Structure 1
Amino acid sequence: MANLKEVKNRITSVVSTQQITKAMKMVAAAKLKRAQDRITMMRPYSQKLSTILQNVSGSGEMNNPYAKERPVNNILLILVTSDKGLCGAFNSTVTRKVKSLMEGEYKSYAESGNLHFMTIGKKASDYLKRNKLSYNDQYINLFNNLTFEATSEAAQFIMDEFEKGTYDKVEIIYNEFKNAATQILNKEQFLPIAKSSDEESRSDYDYTYEPSRDYIENELIPTSLKTQLFKALLDSNASEHGARMTAMDKATDNAGELLKELRLTYNRTRQAAITTEILEITAGAEALAAE
């Protein structure tokens, strides 16, 4: 059985850890509220814009370079993770998906060196570095300044590379925010613009282009793509804070359970020590009386 000093030190350590996890939970909850408000306001606009864009692209009336489909020789995966840990399985779901794709659907591209990566968030870079995979990390710190303007710069770089033919297909892997306790892993096609899969629904639309079709192609479509990336980052940001809040809440509860066990152990150890001392005193008294 551990001595009293060891148990007391462990209790002090667990109490300190519990205070930290409780504080981190409160900070994550405060950040989650702001992040949740941002994605809640952005999502309906982004989804409606994407639907219109897919229908227009699928109608065959547009001749936009971002909607151009060509044989897929090079694929770019944009991995969106957090900069910090302590958020449960938030980051590992993304890295597991990457591993699954490299061993399955995109195995031939990975083996031929035609599977490329761009990281947004340090944890994705850490994973790729550990596995000795090359990646582009020039926009790794986007979460330090998560604005539409900063995201637009990253989106424009990706769009330019696609237009030049550096990549034939671009996908985003990120966590979609559902609620504080639930995040849904998404693999979403970014380029070329995905066409609507609903042929009947698409044929029901008769679009009138205002002010002009050229304006739609040159202004609205690029803006829509930038909005799509921004929405993915807002989703991931809210998911991160939700995952961290949940993880820290569980950690706080676990620390509480551990404290109960440690205090019980401390009391039993202390009681055993007192009992031993009483027995020793009694034995000593009896020995003196016998003399």
Structure 2
Amino acid sequence: MGASLNEIKSKIASTAKTSQITGAMQMVSAAKLQKSENHAKKYQTYASKVKQVTLDLVSHDKGPSKNPMMLKREVKKTGYLVITSDRGLVGGYNANILKSVMSELMKKKNDDAFSVMALGGMGADFFKARDIKVSYELRGLSDQPNFEEVRHIVSEAVKLYQSEEFDELFVCYNHHVNSLTSEVRMEKMLPISFDDVTSTPSLDTFELEPDRDQILDQLLPQYAESLIYGSIVDAKTAEHAAGMTAMQTATDNANSVIHDLTIQFNRARQAAITQEITEIVAGAAAL
């Protein structure tokens, strides 16, 4: 019985240490989440202004733009930019997005019908393990990435579209709803479309120099890059929220295990004491 008590005590101690670690990781993720949410809010202010200017230019003079980034081509090949984390311990964050992407890829007739770019080590390793070619990958992104960190993969995605390596681009990521919820999104970023946007142009009273199409030639690639970067910021926020939730669940489970083990330990100790008293009484009666 003594060995059993020591074994239970050892389990309680090791589980308590695990609980302390997961509790600390939860606090770290919570701090990162708050910073990411603030970063996302600041970015949304910039993104809304860029979108409004772009929309005004597109709507100016009421004429359709001939810019290739807005023209719909026959879809022969689809590009997917898949955003995951570099590590685990984030619950179902990676599994949800990868499952959705694989479901889309399985609909394609062959490997030549799609191109995959991976932002995050978990996604890159996932596709490579399944012999799916990753045309570009980026790992080691910081917790609050700035545009310079992701400029290359974002610019590469836009460049591949402009060179007609693929005819449409989807960005696949987890959208941050709140600290407990995220939802998988597969948004078409290219070609750029404003079909679902209703806005009154505000540039009618201005003379544009150079003309609208020359301005759009410079602005539309930057606008597309801002859309993709916004998805990355959103995905990072969802990642921190998933990590915080996962660590909170792990901490709660550890505390529950400690509670159960403590009850088991007390019962085992009570049984041992009862047995010792019984042996003492039996010995005294024998005398």
Residue deviations 1:13-50 (CA, integer Å, cap 9, x gap): 11011000110011111111111111011124324534
With over 3 angstroms needed to count, the CA separation of the structure-2 counterparts of 1:56 and 1:135, relative to structure 1, is same
Q: Which residue of 2 aligns with 1:184?
A: 183
| Aligned AA (1:254) | N
Q: Which residue of 2 aligns with 1:3?
A: 4
- 1:158-237 to structure 2, matched below 5 A, reads 158-197=157-196, 201=198, 205=201, 207-208=203-204, 210-212=208-210, 213-237=212-236
| Aligned AA (1:187) | M
Are 1:41 and 2:42 matched, yes or no?
yes
| Aligned AA (1:245) | M
Q: Which residue of 2 aligns with 1:113?
A: 112
Q: Could you tell me whether the CA contact under 8 Å between 1:90 and 1:240 is conserved in 2?
A: yes
Higher alpha-carbon deviation: 261-270 or 154-163: 154-163
SS at match of 2:86: coil
Are 1:93 and 2:96 matched, yes or no?
yes
Q: Which residue of 1 aligns with 2:242?
A: 243
Higher alpha-carbon deviation: 207-216 or 155-164: 207-216
Q: Could you tell me whether the CA contact under 8 Å between 2:57 and 2:216 is conserved in 1?
A: no
Residue deviations 1:116-165 (CA, integer Å, cap 9, x gap): 21100111112212322211343233447822123232222111111111
Alpha-carbon distance between aligned partners in 1 of 2:124 and 2:46, rounded to the nearest angstrom = 31
Q: Could you tell me whether the CA contact under 8 Å between 2:144 and 2:233 is conserved in 1?
A: no
Higher alpha-carbon deviation: 52-61 or 178-187: 52-61
| Aligned AA (2:25) | M
| Aligned AA (1:63) | K
- Could you tell me the percent identity over the aligned residues? 31
Residue deviations 1:39-80 (CA, integer Å, cap 9, x gap): 011124324534654675586532222222111111111110
| Aligned AA (1:100) | S
| Aligned AA (1:31) | K
Alpha-carbon distance between aligned partners in 2 of 1:263 and 1:245, rounded to the nearest angstrom = 27
Task: Name structure 1 gaps, 5 residues minimum.
Answer: none
Alpha-carbon distance between aligned partners in 1 of 2:54 and 2:195, rounded to the nearest angstrom = 9
With over 3 angstroms needed to count, the CA separation of the structure-2 counterparts of 1:51 and 1:128, relative to structure 1, is farther
Residue deviations 1:226-272 (CA, integer Å, cap 9, x gap): 11111111111111111111221122122112111110100001111
| Aligned AA (2:262) | R
- The counterpart of 1:66, out of the listed 65, 69, 87, is 69
Alpha-carbon distance between aligned partners in 2 of 1:97 and 1:136, rounded to the nearest angstrom = 19
Q: Which residue of 1 aligns with 2:83?
A: 80
| Aligned AA (1:237) | K
Cα root mean square deviation, aligned: 2.4
Using the TM superposition, give the Cα deviation of residue 168 of structure 1 relative to its aligned residue in structure 2, in angstroms: 0.7
| Aligned AA (2:155) | Q
SS at match of 1:64: coil
Are 1:29 and 2:41 matched, yes or no?
no
Alpha-carbon distance between aligned partners in 2 of 1:100 and 1:186, rounded to the nearest angstrom = 13
With over 3 angstroms needed to count, the CA separation of the structure-2 counterparts of 1:60 and 1:231, relative to structure 1, is same
TM-score, with structure 2 as normaliser: 0.88
Higher alpha-carbon deviation: 19-28 or 127-136: 127-136
Q: Could you tell me whether the CA contact under 8 Å between 2:158 and 2:225 is conserved in 1?
A: no
Task: Name structure 2 gaps, 5 residues minimum.
Answer: none
Higher alpha-carbon deviation: 208-217 or 266-275: 208-217
SS at match of 2:135: coil
SS at match of 1:187: strand
